[in-house]
Amino acid sequence: VPPYTITYFAVRGRCGALRIMLSDLGQEWKEVVVNFDEWMKGDLKKTCVFGQLPKLQDGDLVLYQSNTFLRHLGRKHGAYGKNDNEAALIDMFNDGVEDLRTKYVKMIYQEYDTGKEAYINGLPDHLSKFEAVLEKNKSGFLVGDSMSFADYSLFEVLLNHQVLSPTCLDAFPALKGFVSRMSSRPKIKAYLDSDAYKSLPINGNGKQ
Ligand code: 0HH
């Protein structure tokens, strides 16, 4: 029995980074897919701490909030830095990725037709910040010399942005190298090549 169960809608959405992380860690998980009609009945929503999905179960532990999932896995599987200072920096970069993810989600769901172009024009300003971090920290990871949950989160956000704007990383060699290295890690590559990944849309409204 796989230790982890993800309950979510049929999207990559807020579980994209989590699934990539689980794959890279060699963990198995079960998916419980919730469809719109089922959700609208409201029974499941009532059981959710914040009235929303995704939900992650790890044995008896039931969690909500997608970034909490990443932190939990980071703690359990050695992807949360070597000491408290590294952990704090990992939190900081993950929060920075979350800021970008939130802007992306807002554009996708609320202003795709009117705001996509301005969003893409504004991207270099955000991407250059992560470029500078990776350039400074020569290891190829955001913090220290090993993988953390923030790396998976950044990677997944960058993959989605390359779908939105295929050339968006062209001016950022460190980010391009990062995406290329992450994509070619064997377990990540196998997951990204799988139907499980490919069959899920990035977002729930058909926009990407
Ligand atoms: N901060 C939370 C987290 O990071 C945010 C969770 C959230 O926004 O986990 N949940 C949304 C779905 S994520 C939610 O539960 C976006 C996926 C959209 C796919 C929709 C497919 C159609 C199914 C309705 N939303 C439902 C709700 O709030 O009632």
pLDDT at residue number 1: 72
Consecutive 10-residue averages of pLDDT for the chain (208 residues)? 93 98 98 97 98 98 98 98 98 98 98 98 98 97 98 98 98 98 98 98 98
Relative to the CA of 64, which ligand 1 atom is closest? 9
Ligand 1 site, residue 65, Cβ cutoff 6 A: yes
Ligand 1 site, residue 201, Cβ cutoff 6 A: no
Ligand 1 site, residue 13, Cβ cutoff 6 A: yes
In sequence order, what are the residues at sequence separation of 6 or more whose Cβ sits closer than 8 angstroms to the Cβ of residue 181?
A: 140
Ligand 1 site, residue 105, Cβ cutoff 6 A: no
In sequence order, what are the residues at sequence separation of 6 or more whose Cβ sits closer than 8 angstroms to the Cβ of residue 7?
A: 32, 34, 44, 53, 54, 55, 56, 57
Amino acid at 94: N
| pTM score, whole prediction | 0.98
Instruction: Judge whether 57 and 69 are in contact, CB under 8 Å.
Output: no
Cα of 92 from ligand 1 centre, angstroms: 23
Residue having the nearest C-alpha atom to atom 1 of ligand 1: 65
Distance of alpha carbon 39 from alpha carbon 58, whole angstroms: 22
Cα of 180 from ligand 1 centre, angstroms: 29
pLDDT at residue number 2: 80
pLDDT at residue number 10: 98
Structure tokens at 208: 């990407």
pLDDT at residue number 22: 98
Ligand 1 site, residue 55, Cβ cutoff 6 A: no
Distance of alpha carbon 70 from alpha carbon 49, whole angstroms: 18
pLDDT at residue number 183: 98
Ligand 1 site, residue 36, Cβ cutoff 6 A: yes
Ligand 1 site, residue 81, Cβ cutoff 6 A: no
